[in-house]
Chain A
Amino acid sequence: MSYAVDTKGFYGNFGGAYIPEMLQHNVETLRDRYLDIINDPSFKKEFNDLLKNYVGRPSPLYEAKRFSSKYGARIFLKREDLNHTGAHKINNTIGQILLAERLGKKRIIAETGAGQHGVATATVCALKNIECIVYMGAVDIERQAPNVARMKMLGATVVPATSGSQTLKDATNEAIRDWIQNPADTHYIIGSVVGPHPYPDMVARFQSIISEEIRQQLPEYIDADKPDSIVACVGGGSNAAGAFYHFLDDRAVRLVAVEAAGEGIHSGRSAATSVLGTEGIIHGSRTLLMQTVDGQIVEPHSISAGLDYPGIGPLHAHLIKSGRAEAISITDDHAVKAAFLLTRLEGIIPALESAHALAALDVMSYRPNENIVICLSGRGDKDLATYMKYLDKI
């Protein structure tokens, strides 16, 4: 079985481009040109140069020894939190801003949940002197205030999405509506492996640097260029897609996708799409999503704004449904506990999103001394207000 996207934009039954005619021209142009553009030597040179000298790649692969001895495994953290702007999101926005330039676009729009993608987009727009508008759910604007301030300082306009649950799903709807109204001059930088083809494949390619580096870095520690397991959190799934990418066809590597269970899978306040979701269409892609029998999209919940999304990218739907990846759900409280544990054992404050991946170690089975890579997708500075509420309870 292949895990690459097919020519129609599908991963098995999932993917495609279910978009209104108003978006057809832009999405078709992107589909017809993205591979030529990103494979062009001048693009590659500029992309790699910015990843190295601006983002600070390669990001370290760090053996977390105290954390490892707590779990009885060899645990390696892929330190995407050390990237410029504090998360993996910048890998994709660097790629897409270079693409937008080559498409002749003068205006950038983006959606954001936790604000990391918004900050990463505002950053590359500042770098390239391009107008930037970021749509963010009104609820998320409240709970991720530091990132809102960063976007504003970077010169972006932050527009609150006030419809629906006022989180990531609604911010994405608003960004799509903006693109419908500004098709000629605007490029939409989607932040995850979601949306119509070619976005899931394009974003996965830009994030695939994560697994490319893991392959190069592991031999510094172990006698192999692959781990036994790779664990990553999944909202839309871009850091997981990047961390899994170069191991997709190697069945010896176990892939673990960690979702947000919120207050519990069956609490009515959850974002555990692989358990609660059914096949349908969200944001132009056929995938698994949380919905009613009538096809109304259900408002999700997670303490982590970046995982508070009712769907998952079509690649992940395919990986999970075909049995290639294993899905695990982690509750809000459990994720916070894991964040404190890593902080106290290793002196690393993880993002709430990444904390879900860390917590998966309590749930997944593994052999003693197994080699496990966890994608530490972002740093926790933005989440301090939430963490402080738990300080006395831990």
Chain B
Amino acid sequence: MNRINLLFANKKNNILNIYFTAGHPHLEDTVAIIQSLTEAGADLVEIGMPYSDPLADGPTIQASSAQALRNGMNLGLLFNQIKDARTKSSIPFIMMGYFNQLMQYGIERFMAKAKDSGVDGMIIPDLPVEEFEKHYKELFDRYDMNISFLITPQTPEARIRHIDAVSNSFIYMVSSNAITGAKSNIDAEQEEYFTRIEHMKLKNPRLIGFGISNKTTFDKACGFAQGAIIGSAFIQTLDKAKQDEIKTKVNQFISSVRNGSPA
């Protein structure tokens, strides 16, 4: 069974998914970040492939991506790092990036390499579900590669049902009409949207992302879904970290989200 499906079969709530941009703050931090996240108690890790033009991302992830690219990150190097990290962690790995990156690498070559490196799933925000179904689903299935699609407050019910039917992973609920990192609280309108989706009784579990940054917002999100995704806030804590501080910073961050205070 795919590690993502195994996780959701065994754990029903308070699932914490952490996003980081590979190659930030330093080129060689990937293994240390993944290992530290695993030890600190993150349930999934989302490995961002830095991209020059990340359309759905706010200033924090844009800046970390630009830094990672300046540091020299590329897919060849990243797959090696992930393969190394896989020997030190058994939590699910998800790669997040933009479709052009997969296209240029070659979709099938990407699948084979990702699987071989220990990757369990993908998030590709600019690959629409229809395009995936028509051209790539068969390939993803063949490599046992899960994929998560985004839904937003504007996504109509029929489209959510369709996404739920095509998905074999968690559904990524974008918390508001936003780019990543843009909001810092959860308001009544968002709660209404979360409740509406909860009542749809989808077959796939849901994680809420965008604007989740601390214990307050994480706990609130977990009241409406199986868990939540934190990206920009985590990247900010790593921003100025020296290489030997990574482990401490990661521990402090996860502890503050889980317990409300740094470890």
Residues of A with Cβ closer than 8 Å to B?
16-22, 24-26, 163-164, 169, 173, 176-177, 180-184, 278-284, 291, 293-297
Task: State in angstroms the CA–CA spacing of A280 and B102 once bound together.
Answer: 10
Pair B99/A297 contact, Cβ less than 8 Å: no
Pair B100/A295 contact, Cβ less than 8 Å: yes
Closest Cβ of chain B to A95, distance in Å, is 25
Q: Is the interface of B mostly helix, strand, loop or mixed?
A: loop
Task: State in angstroms the CA–CA spacing of A295 and B76 once bound together.
Answer: 13
Closest Cβ of chain B to A386, distance in Å, is 27
Complex A-B: 11 CB contacts under 8 Å: A18-B127, A18-B128, A19-B128, A21-B128, A21-B174, A22-B56, A177-B58, A180-B56, A180-B177, A282-B53, A295-B105
Measured CB to CB, the nearest residue on chain B to A162 is: B59
**Contact mask for chain B residues 188-222; partner A; CB cutoff 8 A; 1 contact, 0 none:** 00000000000000000000000000000000000
Measured CB to CB, the nearest residue on chain B to A26 is: B154
Could you say which residues of chain A place their CB within 8 Å of the CB of B131?
Answer: 16, 18
Pair A22/B103 contact, Cβ less than 8 Å: no
Pair A169/B53 contact, Cβ less than 8 Å: yes
**Contact mask for chain B residues 64-100; partner A; CB cutoff 8 A; 1 contact, 0 none:** 0010010000110000000000000000000000111
Pair A280/B155 contact, Cβ less than 8 Å: no
Measured CB to CB, the nearest residue on chain A to B151 is: A21
Residues of B with Cβ closer than 8 Å to A?
51-53, 55-56, 58, 62, 66, 69, 74-75, 98-105, 125-128, 131, 149-152, 154-156, 159, 174, 177-179, 182
Could you say which residues of chain B place their CB within 8 Å of the CB of A281?
Answer: 98-100, 103, 126
Pair B126/A284 contact, Cβ less than 8 Å: yes
Could you say which residues of chain B place their CB within 8 Å of the CB of A181?
Answer: 177-179, 182
Closest Cβ of chain B to A266, distance in Å, is 21
Task: State in angstroms the CA–CA spacing of A24 and B150 once bound together.
Answer: 11
Pair B55/A24 contact, Cβ less than 8 Å: no
Task: State in angstroms the CA–CA spacing of A21 and B55 once bound together.
Answer: 11
Could you say which residues of chain A place their CB within 8 Å of the CB of B58?
Answer: 177
Pair B104/A295 contact, Cβ less than 8 Å: yes
Pair B128/A296 contact, Cβ less than 8 Å: no
Further contacts, 5 of them, CB under 8 A, given A22-B150, A180-B177: A163-B66, A173-B53, A173-B55, A181-B178, A282-B100
Task: State in angstroms the CA–CA spacing of A104 and B168 once bound together.
Answer: 38
Closest Cβ of chain B to A213, distance in Å, is 36
Could you say which residues of chain B place their CB within 8 Å of the CB of A297?
Answer: 52-53, 100
Task: State in angstroms the CA–CA spacing of A24 and B104 once bound together.
Answer: 24
Number of A-B contacts (CB under 8 A): 104
Given A163, A169, A295, A296, which contacts B103 in the complex, CB threshold below 8 Å?
A295
Pair B53/A22 contact, Cβ less than 8 Å: no
Task: State in angstroms the CA–CA spacing of A20 and B178 once bound together.
Answer: 11
Pair A20/B56 contact, Cβ less than 8 Å: yes
Task: State in angstroms the CA–CA spacing of A17 and B131 once bound together.
Answer: 9
Pair B128/A17 contact, Cβ less than 8 Å: yes
Measured CB to CB, the nearest residue on chain A to B75 is: A294
Measured CB to CB, the nearest residue on chain B to A295 is: B104
Pair B150/A20 contact, Cβ less than 8 Å: yes
Given A18-B127, A21-B155, check contact A294 B177 (CB 8 Å): no
Closest Cβ of chain B to A135, distance in Å, is 13
Measured CB to CB, the nearest residue on chain A to B102 is: A295
What are the 10 tightest A-B residue pairs by CB atom distance, in nearest-first order?
Answer: A295-B104, A21-B150, A25-B154, A296-B52, A281-B100, A20-B125, A295-B101, A20-B56, A295-B100, A297-B52
Task: State in angstroms the CA–CA spacing of A296 and B125 once bound together.
Answer: 16
Pair B103/A180 contact, Cβ less than 8 Å: no
Pair A180/B53 contact, Cβ less than 8 Å: no
Pair B105/A24 contact, Cβ less than 8 Å: no
Measured CB to CB, the nearest residue on chain A to B127 is: A18
Task: State in angstroms the CA–CA spacing of A295 and B152 once bound together.
Answer: 27
Could you say which residues of chain A place their CB within 8 Å of the CB of B174?
Answer: 21-22
Task: State in angstroms the CA–CA spacing of A291 and B101 once bound together.
Answer: 10
Could you say which residues of chain A place their CB within 8 Å of the CB of B75?
Answer: 294
> Considering residues B62, B69, B174, B177, which has the most beta carbons from chain A within 10 angstroms of its beta carbon?
B177
Closest Cβ of chain A to B169, distance in Å, is 15
Task: State in angstroms the CA–CA spacing of A281 and B125 once bound together.
Answer: 13
Task: State in angstroms the CA–CA spacing of A180 and B174 once bound together.
Answer: 11
Given B69, B101, B105, B177, which contacts A22 in the complex, CB threshold below 8 Å?
B177
Measured CB to CB, the nearest residue on chain B to A19 is: B126
Given A18-B99, A21-B125, check contact A296 B179 (CB 8 Å): no
Closest Cβ of chain B to A272, distance in Å, is 19
Could you say which residues of chain B place their CB within 8 Å of the CB of A173?
Answer: 53, 55
Task: State in angstroms the CA–CA spacing of A180 and B57 once bound together.
Answer: 10
Task: State in angstroms the CA–CA spacing of A297 and B177 once bound together.
Answer: 26
Could you say which residues of chain B place their CB within 8 Å of the CB of A291?
Answer: 100, 104
Could you say which residues of chain A place their CB within 8 Å of the CB of B66?
Answer: 163-164
Could you say which residues of chain A place their CB within 8 Å of the CB of B104?
Answer: 278, 280, 291, 293-295
Task: State in angstroms the CA–CA spacing of A169 and B174 once bound together.
Answer: 25
Pair A25/B156 contact, Cβ less than 8 Å: yes
Closest Cβ of chain B to A204, distance in Å, is 22
Task: State in angstroms the CA–CA spacing of A18 and B58 once bound together.
Answer: 19
Closest Cβ of chain B to A220, distance in Å, is 46
Closest Cβ of chain B to A265, distance in Å, is 21
Measured CB to CB, the nearest residue on chain B to A284 is: B126
Pair B155/A24 contact, Cβ less than 8 Å: yes
Could you say which residues of chain B place their CB within 8 Å of the CB of A176?
Answer: 55
Given A18, A183, A283, A284, which contacts B177 in the complex, CB threshold below 8 Å?
A183
Could you say which residues of chain B place their CB within 8 Å of the CB of A295?
Answer: 51, 98, 100-105
Task: State in angstroms the CA–CA spacing of A167 and B69 once bound together.
Answer: 19
Measured CB to CB, the nearest residue on chain A to B51 is: A296
Given A20, A24, A184, A280, which contacts B100 in the complex, CB threshold below 8 Å?
A280
Task: State in angstroms the CA–CA spacing of A180 and B104 once bound together.
Answer: 26
Closest Cβ of chain B to A166, distance in Å, is 12
Task: State in angstroms the CA–CA spacing of A183 and B125 once bound together.
Answer: 17
Could you say which residues of chain A place their CB within 8 Å of the CB of B101?
Answer: 294-295
Given A24-B128, A25-B155, A169-B53, check contact A296 B69 (CB 8 Å): yes
